[in-house]
Structure 1
Amino acid sequence: MSRYSELSDDIDFEFTPEKDDTNEINEYLLRCLDETQTAARVAVSKQHEAFVNPGLTIANILIPLPLMPRDAETIRSVSEEASFGKGDETVVDTSVRKIWELDHTQFMFANPAWQAYVATLLEDAAQSLAMSEVRAEPCKLLLYGEGSFFESHKDSENVPGMIGKLVICLPSKHDGGSIHLSHAGKSYVFDTDKTSDFGLTSLSWFSDVTPEIQPLKSGYRLVLIYNVTHTGHKHISAGLVEQQSENLRSALVEWQSKLPFQGKLVYKLEHKYTNSSLKLSNLKGRDRAVCQSLYEVGLSCGFTIFLAEMIRTQGADPRESDEYEWSTTGLTRLEDVRTCDGLAVCNIVFLNSGDILGSNLWDRDADSESGGDFTGNEDMSLTLRYHDTVSSR
């Protein structure tokens, strides 16, 4: 068995090729892409100018938004200083964490449309992080005032199956309080104050990411915390994201080093897309994860990633048999090649069989066909066409 194919089910493997073998290197790269379940991101933030008002109700008082100082003081009066885990204990220490909190049983949402809106925020975050089979469960309401902060810490997994957090910053004017996240030597900084006067900010990250909240300089920040739980079987984490990225980077570097003569490589996506929708932000499910990883990891390795429609035509002579004998060879090309941003690059690129990762891609019913009719003394060959969307180097 090739060392390239000796990969564990949880993709915790290293790439140590022993010889320059085109098939084995391509098979290894194909395995890396097939194993990709989540994108090369561990956190995401998005600002929303339009949003659904939750109808936040605390102690039978409806809290209007944007949050006013008098209502912030009402919330603080019924809240407790936020605790945190320290070893086996749960402690309150304002030198480490200075925030006020309410448990999810101490507030409610009067607006029946809020739950559906949270579902859209979760879906948006899940697409960006390539999560699947997830749900959001309300956990806490946090109030930050001037000087509020939280030192670098590890988030605990509060409920079974928890893989991350969905954080919703409700409209409340404030300054400062940037959110610093780190994982595997990489850092991310998200601000919530830029549109805090009237806008809403949603953030999400995996639970094994390390967060740190910088001190709030002024105003109040009102935050809803949701636990994101995975309802499927395969556990997803930031560690999995980083491992997949390293595996893919190793494969791309080796492919570039060992096969410099191979100028292009094509990977078939699971879904089909119209040419007008062909860009990274429109991809679905695992396609988004694969192409996001290829795009981000590829940039660091000097690769340029494109999206395109792949068309293969196969023909048969109707005189040969009542059940046409199809040719095992065909003509394959890329059409409407675009950048990941959707910008058109070129119209047609012809492919050789060695340019395409995978096998038995056309072992299925054709997407369209033409010909096969007799015309006078000659007959017209029957042609099958297969249409797929691909990612191409």
Structure 2
Amino acid sequence: MKNIVPRECVAALLDRECADPKLSASTEAEPDLLNLEILGVGAVRLPVTPSQVRKLRNLGTPARFGRGTETLTDISVRDTWEVPKDTVALRFGDGLPALLDALRAELGLPSSCTLRPELHSMLVYGRGQFFLPHQDSEKHNAMIGTLVVTLPSRHTGGELVIGRGEATAEYRGSASNLVLTAFYADCRHEVRPVKSGHRIALTFNLLLDGASTPPPDPSAATVTELARHLREHFSAPVRRIFSRGPATPPSRLVYLLDHEYTERGLSWARLKGGDATKASLLRAAAETADCRVMLALGEIQETWDAYPTDEEDDWYDGPYDDEDNENDDDDDPDTADDTDCSYQLNDLVESATRLAHWTDPDTGYTEQITLEVDETELCAGTTNSALTPYEQQYEGFMGNYGNTLDRWYRRAALVLFPAAREFANRAESSPAWALTHIDERARTGDLAGAQADAADLAPFWAASISENPQPEALVRALHTAHALDDPTTANLLLSPFRAEQLSASAGTPLACLAEQHDADWIATLLRGWFSSDATRAFEYAHTSCSQELEWYAAVPDLCTALHGGTADGAAQLLTDLAWKRLHSRADGLSALAAPSRRLAALIELGAPLAFLLTAVEAQGPENLTRQITRRLSSSDEDTTVWARSALHAAEALPGHGRGGSAFAALAADYGGQLRERLARPARTEDDWSIAAPADCTCELCEVLSAFLLDPFRRVYEWPLAERSRRHIHARIDKYELPVSHQTRRQGRPYTLVLAKQNTLFHSERTARAQDEADLRWLAVTWPDEVTHP
């Protein structure tokens, strides 16, 4: 018999105590409950008469819907008429509060809260009109659901179908009574096509006044049992998934709630249905077990081994996500079926749960976090497969693995952890919070306590910094390390960061640390930040090429802050390491065979080089200046492109960096390269020679090279088998050679026709004109160096 672990006992107990609440509820009322007038139509009689229906249709416009940040009209998605809201005047009778109270109770909400409707729209559905499955956006901070009031009229079809996952409920209108239907905002719903007559409905945002979560009762027997399971969970050692370390007690328990919430809508006071009851029970159990509990919002990604049940069906990536679009005219529809009936799910390949932010129940303060939850810390009463993903993506067979279906869910969660481990849990989820806490503790005189807190970070700090690459985190860590005044603790806090996270504001606190500790300590720290393996991992995970280079703009300010005193050596080491990084990146571009990509990347390196030269100029290490100018003294195209880009970037720097000796030397060298290139004779009109790539010496490439280097031969007809043709096609495309290559499909083997293009001459004329313009520009900007080299 399977041994049930404590976290599964928690989920089972909550399921036992909280019966599945209804997602929707409906009731009928006499027509005289509602007094309705429409500008241009007058008082609306209930049931609605055919003549008034025609007037309403004439007054209406095609209803729109939200898709992301767009608001669209598409009758293949939503086909109905919307009466302008500003023409609608309504008043409910005294019986409405009692009806709303009954709906509240049926939805599982406590008597401590009340529901309040806010008019959203008036809709008229005629024959054949419908609205595809969609999910309402939360249009108000207090919105918990939607109320649909269907006016009495004679019609068939037009059923309102509400559900989540496989659980659905269907509601029909009445020919004689009002039908009030309430449902939670995260429920997907649709209006099926009207078959005859007209369906007229008023839709309301359903706002919640008061708190939906009942106050905890620590004395309840269920709470006592839950508290016992919590203590067992936090005392029983388990081995984390994929961990090679020893088994240890879990750091937290994460219980996934059933409803979906937006970041704006997540609140302890507005939990939906059974979530509110479960939250109340767990809060009481946490108090009994001396635990803390936070309300969090997370995202779950599952990867399934799957295949389509009907290969011919169109696939749709999931419902439109409109949750943060406050200006939408309605909601987010599906345009196709994306439920399990379209795919056969086999095995769960992988699952990941990440928490994005959480809310403290005592303070109500919401804190941004990043926390990946281990499977041994996770439990839920409702499986993800019973819910509807907000997005899914199917990947067919790729050769190395089979068909997979990725599904994404947003779920709220209750995060519990022992009060004694509160600091470690909060620190792991939010490094910024941890640094602020330690810094405040140190500056208020509790240095020993601050250092003890910092020591508690060791098991997870490096991983947390890697997962939370916040730009301001390094500056905050530098201030905190200085406050702690201990080199070992400072190294613990700072070593996980990377050079790419340096900013100008880091200069002063970094200089203070360099003064506080010895030169070897700061040198070790800087070399660790520039470590190639760690940096490559950081770049791959968090930055694009351009983002990774942006930090070079901070190098001059960093060096200014470090220059002088005992930190002067740190400034020189920083520029030296920065140059080695930049030089290595430039050399690595030689692997890019395509000239357009390689040269574009070199141009991108121009501004970082200009910033670095500015920093070098300010502190004056002549040996590094000589290294840089020597590297840029080559006359090959790659080097001249890099030098040109750096000089143009220098012109835009504050103080116009052209006055420095480093830029002067670079300008003089670049000017000499330009004069040397311009002194070469221009290509004659009958010279069709093209430099041949030299990295392949096969027989095919030797023939290709002979054709390319021949100044008189423009066309070559070459009978070749398919594999050989592919090789030549690839060589020409890879190096972007000005040669067309087409296959004439006659005879055996087919003939590959190579023809040199006129762009050969145009490109060279353009390059020569650019060199002439650059030489004139240099003569104006650096006259002494270029005119008198």
Q: Which has the higher strand share?
A: 1
Question: Does 1 or 2 have the higher relative contact order (CA < 8 Å, sep 6+)?
Answer: 1
Q: Calculate the TM-score normalised by the size of structure 1.
A: 0.50
